[in-house]
Amino acid sequence: MSHSRQKLVIGNWKMNGGYRSAQALLQPLVTAGVSAVVAPPFVYLSESARQLAGSSVSLAAQDVAAEAGYGAFTGEVSARMLAEAGVRYVIVGHSERRQYYGETDAQVAEKSLRTVEEGMIPVICVGETLAQREAGQAFAVVSAQLMAIADCCGVDFLAGAVVAYEPVWAIGTGRTATPDDAQAMHAHLRGVIAGRNPGIAAGLRILYGGSVKADNAASLFAMPDIDGALVGGASLLANDFLAICRAAGL
């Protein structure tokens, strides 16, 4: 059974931007009327929401607190605050958070739950390291990361989520997974979810991330199980990001 999934392209600015460049990156997207999603750093979210009001561009946050509501958690930003600021998607479990800040699958699951509780959509990131790929463990590692979320939150939870496959060795390295390699992983993940619930698997959007550029986006998007992209470096170049959105038909 074929299932039409709307493509999704998210620009993850990471810890980049600057107040002026944030404005300069958003304006061409607004003018172009493209249905893209951008994830600026927390401090730019409110101002970005004002700039994007009435446009087809949506906002994502790069992380969220695992704790709900408000409370004494210095330095944390809660899902409720993000929702109030006009955020629609939240990136959770990015490999940089897992690697540098020790985020666990359990924390990623909690953050995903908080996101949905506040009416937003979690973008759950999974991906293997180069050592894991070379050891032939890529499929096992990545499906375990995804199933940890499904086990904790329930597989039905994925109906309101997006998954991003980002092989760690392809992030910021210029070394993109080949469309065939990415497709193989996406099909594997969809198959694992289908084992629990075929309907949810068919509707689940699985994005690819890792050195997606204007010149390789179309070949990735042509793959049947690649439903869009989570773009890092190229999302900081307005024309390149726009070209990637266009390649997705947005």
Ligand X SMILES: O=C(CO)COP(=O)(O)O
Tokens of 70: 């408000």
**Beta carbon of residue 53, minimum distance to ligand X (angstroms, whole number):** 25
Whole-angstrom Cα distance, residue 23 to residue 17? 9
Q: How many residues bind ligand X (CB under 6 A)?
A: 14
Report 2-31 residues binding ligand X (CB under 6 A). 12
> Which positions from 219 to 248 touch ligand X by CB under 6 A, shown as an x/- string?
-----------xxxxx--------------
β-pair type (162-165, 205-209):
parallel
Nearest to 153 by CA among 114, 207, 203, 123: 114
The answer to whether 7 is annotated as binding is no
Which residues 66-95 are close enough to bind ligand X by CB under 6 A? 94
Instruction: Say whether 231 sits in a helix, a strand or coil.
Output: strand
The Cα 99–Cα 105 span in angstroms is 12
If the CB atoms of residues 31 and 99 are measured against ligand X, the closer one turns out to be: 99
Q: How far is the CB of 1 from ligand X (least distance, A)?
A: 31
* Catalytic status, residue 188: no
Cα(250)–Cα(241) distance, rounded to whole angstroms?
Answer: 11
20 within 8 A of 48, measured Cβ to Cβ: no
Active site residue 3: no
Residue 210 makes contact with ligand X by CB under 6 A? yes
Nearest residue (CB) to ligand X, 22 versus 164: 164
What residues make contact with ligand X under the rule CB under 6 A?
12, 94, 166, 171-172, 209-212, 230-234
